[in-house]
Amino acid sequence: MASYTDWKHYNRELSREFKDIPDTSMMFYLARDIRAHSPQAAAGLMQLSTQSRSFCCTVIAGLEKTIPRILTYTSLEIHVDILHHYPALKKLHIRFVGPEVFPADIASTHNRACMSCQAIGGSRICSSHPELYHDYMQKNPNHKPDLVVCLNSGHSDIGFFQSWMPTLAKILDSNVPAIFTEYSWEEADSETRRLRGMGARFVIELEENRWRGVIPIINRGIQMNHGGVLYSSQVWYAVNGR
Protein backbone atom coordinates (compact mmCIF):
# COMPACT_ATOMS: atom_id res chain seq x y z
CA MET A 1 0.00 0.00 0.00
CA ALA A 2 2.98 2.30 0.50
CA SER A 3 3.31 2.62 -3.28
CA TYR A 4 -0.09 4.34 -3.52
CA THR A 5 -0.48 8.01 -2.61
CA ASP A 6 -4.25 8.04 -1.98
CA TRP A 7 -7.57 6.45 -2.94
CA LYS A 8 -7.59 8.00 -6.43
CA HIS A 9 -4.16 6.57 -7.19
CA TYR A 10 -5.14 3.17 -5.77
CA ASN A 11 -8.36 2.95 -7.79
CA ARG A 12 -6.66 4.11 -10.99
CA GLU A 13 -3.88 1.51 -10.72
CA LEU A 14 -6.34 -1.21 -9.70
CA SER A 15 -8.44 -0.62 -12.81
CA ARG A 16 -5.35 -0.96 -15.00
CA GLU A 17 -3.99 -4.04 -13.22
CA PHE A 18 -7.21 -6.04 -13.39
CA LYS A 19 -8.73 -4.70 -16.59
CA ASP A 20 -8.45 -8.10 -18.34
CA ILE A 21 -10.23 -10.10 -15.62
CA PRO A 22 -13.85 -10.64 -16.84
CA ASP A 23 -15.74 -9.87 -13.60
CA THR A 24 -13.54 -6.90 -12.75
CA SER A 25 -13.58 -5.41 -16.23
CA MET A 26 -17.39 -5.74 -16.28
CA MET A 27 -17.51 -3.75 -13.03
CA PHE A 28 -15.47 -0.91 -14.52
CA TYR A 29 -17.56 -0.91 -17.71
CA LEU A 30 -20.70 -0.67 -15.57
CA ALA A 31 -19.20 2.22 -13.59
CA ARG A 32 -18.33 4.01 -16.84
CA ASP A 33 -21.89 3.61 -18.15
CA ILE A 34 -23.41 4.90 -14.90
CA ARG A 35 -21.05 7.88 -14.95
CA ALA A 36 -22.18 8.74 -18.49
CA HIS A 37 -25.84 8.88 -17.43
CA SER A 38 -25.55 10.15 -13.85
CA PRO A 39 -22.20 11.47 -12.60
CA GLN A 40 -23.59 11.99 -9.09
CA ALA A 41 -24.80 8.38 -8.86
CA ALA A 42 -21.40 7.16 -10.03
CA ALA A 43 -19.65 9.28 -7.38
CA GLY A 44 -21.97 7.89 -4.71
CA LEU A 45 -21.29 4.30 -5.74
CA MET A 46 -17.55 4.95 -5.69
CA GLN A 47 -17.83 6.35 -2.15
CA LEU A 48 -19.72 3.27 -0.95
CA SER A 49 -17.20 0.94 -2.61
CA THR A 50 -14.23 2.82 -1.18
CA GLN A 51 -15.75 3.03 2.31
CA SER A 52 -16.04 -0.76 2.48
CA ARG A 53 -12.34 -1.14 1.68
CA SER A 54 -11.12 1.31 4.33
CA PHE A 55 -10.79 -1.38 7.02
CA CYS A 56 -8.84 -3.75 4.79
CA CYS A 57 -6.48 -1.11 3.40
CA THR A 58 -5.84 0.42 6.84
CA VAL A 59 -4.84 -3.00 8.21
CA ILE A 60 -2.61 -3.76 5.21
CA ALA A 61 -0.87 -0.37 5.46
CA GLY A 62 -0.40 -0.97 9.18
CA LEU A 63 1.14 -4.38 8.58
CA GLU A 64 3.62 -2.90 6.12
CA LYS A 65 4.64 -0.14 8.53
CA THR A 66 4.85 -2.21 11.72
CA ILE A 67 6.10 -5.56 10.35
CA PRO A 68 8.75 -4.84 7.67
CA ARG A 69 9.14 -8.57 6.89
CA ILE A 70 5.41 -9.12 6.29
CA LEU A 71 5.99 -10.22 2.66
CA THR A 72 7.84 -13.28 3.95
CA TYR A 73 5.08 -14.42 6.34
CA THR A 74 3.35 -17.69 5.47
CA SER A 75 0.79 -17.53 8.31
CA LEU A 76 -0.75 -14.61 10.18
CA GLU A 77 -3.09 -14.13 13.13
CA ILE A 78 -4.83 -10.78 13.54
CA HIS A 79 -7.02 -9.83 16.47
CA VAL A 80 -9.87 -7.77 15.24
CA ASP A 81 -9.35 -9.81 3.58
CA ILE A 82 -5.93 -9.43 3.04
CA LEU A 83 -4.91 -12.85 1.73
CA HIS A 84 -4.46 -11.79 -1.92
CA HIS A 85 -2.14 -8.88 -1.08
CA TYR A 86 0.68 -11.13 0.16
CA PRO A 87 1.49 -14.01 -2.22
CA ALA A 88 3.54 -15.94 0.36
CA LEU A 89 0.74 -15.81 2.94
CA LYS A 90 -1.05 -19.15 3.14
CA LYS A 91 -2.82 -19.01 6.50
CA LEU A 92 -4.74 -16.03 7.84
CA HIS A 93 -6.75 -16.11 11.08
CA ILE A 94 -8.73 -13.02 12.07
CA ARG A 95 -10.18 -12.99 15.58
CA PHE A 96 -12.87 -10.43 16.41
CA VAL A 97 -12.72 -9.87 20.17
CA GLY A 98 -14.86 -7.59 22.32
CA PRO A 99 -18.10 -7.42 24.34
CA GLU A 100 -20.03 -6.06 21.34
CA VAL A 101 -18.90 -8.79 18.94
CA PHE A 102 -21.69 -11.02 17.65
CA PRO A 103 -21.12 -14.78 18.01
CA ALA A 104 -19.98 -16.30 14.73
CA ASP A 105 -22.74 -17.63 12.48
CA ILE A 106 -20.26 -20.01 10.84
CA ALA A 107 -17.91 -22.40 12.64
CA SER A 108 -14.47 -20.91 13.26
CA THR A 109 -12.93 -23.80 11.32
CA HIS A 110 -14.73 -22.80 8.10
CA ASN A 111 -12.24 -21.83 5.39
CA ARG A 112 -13.38 -18.54 3.81
CA ALA A 113 -10.55 -18.35 1.28
CA CYS A 114 -11.52 -18.31 -2.39
CA MET A 115 -11.35 -21.60 -4.29
CA SER A 116 -8.16 -20.54 -6.10
CA CYS A 117 -6.38 -19.92 -2.79
CA GLN A 118 -7.72 -23.13 -1.27
CA ALA A 119 -6.40 -25.08 -4.26
CA ILE A 120 -2.82 -24.07 -3.34
CA GLY A 121 -3.25 -24.64 0.38
CA GLY A 122 -4.51 -21.21 1.43
CA SER A 123 -6.89 -20.73 4.37
CA ARG A 124 -8.71 -17.71 5.79
CA ILE A 125 -10.40 -18.31 9.14
CA CYS A 126 -12.55 -15.80 11.05
CA SER A 127 -13.69 -16.34 14.63
CA SER A 128 -15.73 -14.24 17.08
CA HIS A 129 -15.12 -13.93 20.81
CA PRO A 130 -17.74 -11.74 22.60
CA GLU A 131 -15.76 -10.85 25.72
CA LEU A 132 -13.29 -8.27 26.96
CA TYR A 133 -9.94 -8.55 25.22
CA HIS A 134 -7.83 -8.95 28.36
CA ASP A 135 -10.19 -11.65 29.62
CA TYR A 136 -9.93 -13.52 26.33
CA MET A 137 -6.13 -13.36 26.30
CA GLN A 138 -5.91 -14.48 29.91
CA LYS A 139 -7.92 -17.59 29.01
CA ASN A 140 -6.07 -18.15 25.72
CA PRO A 141 -2.41 -17.13 26.22
CA ASN A 142 -1.34 -19.29 23.27
CA HIS A 143 -3.39 -17.16 20.84
CA LYS A 144 -0.74 -14.44 20.64
CA PRO A 145 -1.44 -12.37 17.51
CA ASP A 146 0.92 -10.96 14.91
CA LEU A 147 -1.12 -7.74 14.92
CA VAL A 148 -3.84 -6.14 17.07
CA VAL A 149 -6.30 -3.75 15.38
CA CYS A 150 -8.50 -1.29 17.31
CA LEU A 151 -10.61 0.76 14.89
CA ASN A 152 -12.41 3.87 16.21
CA SER A 153 -12.10 2.44 19.72
CA GLY A 154 -12.84 5.65 21.63
CA HIS A 155 -10.78 4.40 24.57
CA SER A 156 -10.14 7.97 25.73
CA ASP A 157 -13.88 8.55 26.28
CA ILE A 158 -14.60 9.25 29.93
CA GLY A 159 -17.31 6.57 29.92
CA PHE A 160 -14.87 3.83 28.86
CA PHE A 161 -11.62 5.16 30.33
CA GLN A 162 -11.32 2.75 33.26
CA SER A 163 -12.68 -0.32 31.48
CA TRP A 164 -10.01 0.01 28.76
CA MET A 165 -7.06 0.13 31.18
CA PRO A 166 -6.54 -3.66 31.59
CA THR A 167 -7.01 -4.20 27.84
CA LEU A 168 -4.42 -1.55 26.94
CA ALA A 169 -2.02 -3.00 29.51
CA LYS A 170 -2.48 -6.48 28.01
CA ILE A 171 -1.86 -5.16 24.49
CA LEU A 172 1.34 -3.37 25.54
CA ASP A 173 2.59 -6.34 27.55
CA SER A 174 2.07 -8.64 24.53
CA ASN A 175 4.89 -6.86 22.65
CA VAL A 176 3.14 -7.10 19.29
CA PRO A 177 2.22 -4.24 16.90
CA ALA A 178 -1.16 -2.65 17.64
CA ILE A 179 -2.92 -0.23 15.28
CA PHE A 180 -5.41 2.31 16.60
CA THR A 181 -7.64 4.59 14.52
CA GLU A 182 -10.05 7.36 15.51
CA TYR A 183 -12.65 9.68 14.03
CA SER A 184 -10.95 12.86 15.23
CA TRP A 185 -7.54 14.29 16.07
CA GLU A 186 -8.80 15.33 19.52
CA GLU A 187 -9.75 11.77 20.49
CA ALA A 188 -6.53 10.31 19.12
CA ASP A 189 -4.38 12.96 20.80
CA SER A 190 -5.92 12.09 24.18
CA GLU A 191 -5.31 8.41 23.49
CA THR A 192 -1.66 8.85 22.55
CA ARG A 193 -0.98 10.94 25.66
CA ARG A 194 -2.60 8.24 27.76
CA LEU A 195 -0.52 5.48 26.15
CA ARG A 196 2.70 7.46 26.50
CA GLY A 197 1.91 7.70 30.20
CA MET A 198 1.76 3.89 30.23
CA GLY A 199 5.21 3.71 28.63
CA ALA A 200 4.03 2.70 25.13
CA ARG A 201 6.62 2.59 22.34
CA PHE A 202 5.20 4.25 19.21
CA VAL A 203 6.07 2.78 15.82
CA ILE A 204 3.65 5.05 13.91
CA GLU A 205 3.19 8.53 15.32
CA LEU A 206 -0.27 10.08 15.19
CA GLU A 207 -1.00 11.11 11.60
CA GLU A 208 -3.70 11.32 8.93
CA ASN A 209 -4.76 7.90 7.65
CA ARG A 210 -4.69 8.01 3.86
CA TRP A 211 -6.99 4.94 3.83
CA ARG A 212 -9.69 6.51 6.00
CA GLY A 213 -13.36 6.21 5.13
CA VAL A 214 -14.63 8.64 2.49
CA ILE A 215 -18.25 9.14 3.58
CA PRO A 216 -18.45 12.25 5.82
CA ILE A 217 -20.06 12.03 9.25
CA ILE A 218 -21.77 15.22 10.35
CA ASN A 219 -24.37 16.20 12.91
CA ARG A 220 -25.02 19.02 15.37
CA GLY A 221 -22.78 17.52 18.05
CA ILE A 222 -19.88 17.12 15.64
CA GLN A 223 -20.25 20.69 14.44
CA MET A 224 -20.22 21.98 18.02
CA ASN A 225 -17.29 19.84 19.22
CA HIS A 226 -15.13 19.52 16.12
CA GLY A 227 -16.18 22.36 13.84
CA GLY A 228 -16.53 20.28 10.69
CA VAL A 229 -17.00 16.76 9.40
CA LEU A 230 -15.41 13.52 10.56
CA TYR A 231 -14.53 10.30 8.77
CA SER A 232 -14.21 6.72 9.95
CA SER A 233 -10.57 5.91 10.85
CA GLN A 234 -9.59 9.47 9.90
CA VAL A 235 -6.33 9.36 11.90
CA TRP A 236 -4.16 6.52 13.12
CA TYR A 237 -1.12 5.55 15.17
CA ALA A 238 0.54 2.30 16.22
CA VAL A 239 2.40 1.03 19.26
CA ASN A 240 4.56 -2.04 19.94
CA GLY A 241 5.16 -2.86 23.58
CA ARG A 242 6.66 -0.53 26.14
- Domains contained in the chain, CATH given: 53-240 (3.40.50)
Give 41's pLDDT tier (boundaries 50, 70, 90).
Answer: low
What band does 23 get if pLDDT is binned at 50, 70 and 90?
very low
State residue 140's pLDDT score: 94
Residue 228 has pLDDT above 80, yes or no: no
Mean pLDDT of the residues in the chain? 81
The whole model's pTM is what? 0.75
Higher pLDDT, 72 or 195: 195
Q: Which residues contact 19 (CB under 8 A, 6 or more apart)?
A: 25, 28
**Mean pLDDT, residues 97-123 taken together:** 79
User: In the chain, pLDDT over 90 holds for what percent of residues?
Assistant: 30
Q: Per DSSP, what are the bridge partners of residue 129?
A: 97
Q: Could you give phi then psi for residue 176, rounded to 5 degrees? A: -125, 155
The residues that bridge with 240 in the sheet, in sequence order, are 177
Average pLDDT over residues 80-105: 76
Q: Which residue has the higher pLDDT, 140 or 87?
A: 140
Under the banding of pLDDT at 50, 70 and 90, the label for residue 111 is: confident
- Judge residue 126's burial from the number of C-beta atoms within 10 Å of its C-beta, 0-12 exposed, 13-18 middle, 19 or more buried: middle
22 has a pLDDT exceeding 50? no
Distance CA 231, CA 58 (A): 13
Q: DSSP readout, 178-194?
A: EEEEES-HHHHHHHHHH
| Alpha carbons 197 and 195: distance in angstroms, whole number | 5
Average pLDDT over residues 65-79: 84
Q: State how far the Cα of 46 lies from the Cα of 214, in Å rounded to an integer.
A: 9
| The predicted structure's pLDDT at residue 120 | 87
Task: Find out whether 147 and 240 touch, Cβ atoms under 8 Å.
Answer: no
**Residue 87's pLDDT is what?**
73
Question: What is the rounded average pLDDT of the residues 212-241?
Answer: 80
- List residues bridging with 127 in a β-sheet: 95
